Structure 1
Amino acid sequence: MKITLGECLKIAKAIEEKIESLLAEREQVAIVRYFKDEEPEYPERTVEEISAEIAALAAKSRYLRQVVARANLNTKIDFEVNGEKISLAEGLLLLMQLLRERTCWKSLADKQQKTRNTDYYANVEYVEVTYDLAEAKKTYKNYEKQIRKLRLAIDRANINTEIEVPDDKIEY
């Protein structure tokens, strides 16, 4: 069956959430509590049954994540670095780097050119930035613009890129 990368990611995430639910269920059915002179009430499902279901879902999740990873390497997005389009995988890595840089430049752009502080003993201390504040604000805005453009390119690729996945791998 052909599905988009975005759909595949959502299915993988849903499978992983189901696994988390099954892990909690397995923990609950692993023991039974009862009082003296009472008959224990055993759960309907066994640890082994739940473990088998977890293993099957984990295999599906791994398969889907591998399919997505291969597609990410082979899919070019509408975003250029040094005049060349980059892969979706590189775009995701670049996005993380840009987000980190944007955070740093936001901090620099939000500082004041010069501040005056007075401590408990009436000592005056001045703090002055050592860079061009206006340039820092421009750099921050440039990162914002690049991130928006890159996110759009990544979203577009996730919506438009189709991959072939066997039906049994997307059922859960």
Structure 2
Amino acid sequence: MDHNAARRAIADILSATKLSEIKKICKNATITEDVFGDFVMSCDAGILPWVHHISWRDFLPSKFVWTDEDSKRLGNIDNGPLTRESTKAMRKWYQLLDERRYLVGHVFYLRDHSNWHFFYFDNRDIWAYANHFKGGPHIHLINHLWPNRTLEGVWNEFRNGNPEMKGAEHIRFHRENLGPPNL
């Protein structure tokens, strides 16, 4: 993966002055997990002028409640065939993982709030399998160039309830460390 291209994509997004420019950048860009992490850490360390905040939370399906009894059933799995109870607990666990939504948002802004960028994703967005975006794993972007959007409005929408964030751009996202370490 080309880390320089990923750094350039972030720099281009931060310096864009038109929404049409952002759309073109996002269409052609791939941001890597490592480069995005470096950007976050550089902002948090005060190396870059952007203020960074993160928000995250889980949306768990309300109809499926994981109990202590379910944990006990999984904890008693031995080698060999699963019992009926263990199989039921295992199915419930996988269903919880499948329906769970883990939502993460990163906002970056200059101190005068004139220039801000909001990147967000959930666990399904960055997964390579059964992804809703035909480009595969991705993150979303909304920034100060969106009409009728404010930093406070976007941040509050994200933090309160289950946001839809209509109109966000998709940016391909590459995660380098998905497999076992190379030994």
State the TM-score, normalized to the length of structure 1.
0.26
More strand by share: 2
Greater relative contact order structure (CA < 8 Å, 6+ sep): 1
State the TM-score, normalized to the length of structure 2.
0.25
More helix by share: 1
Larger Cα-atom Rg? 1
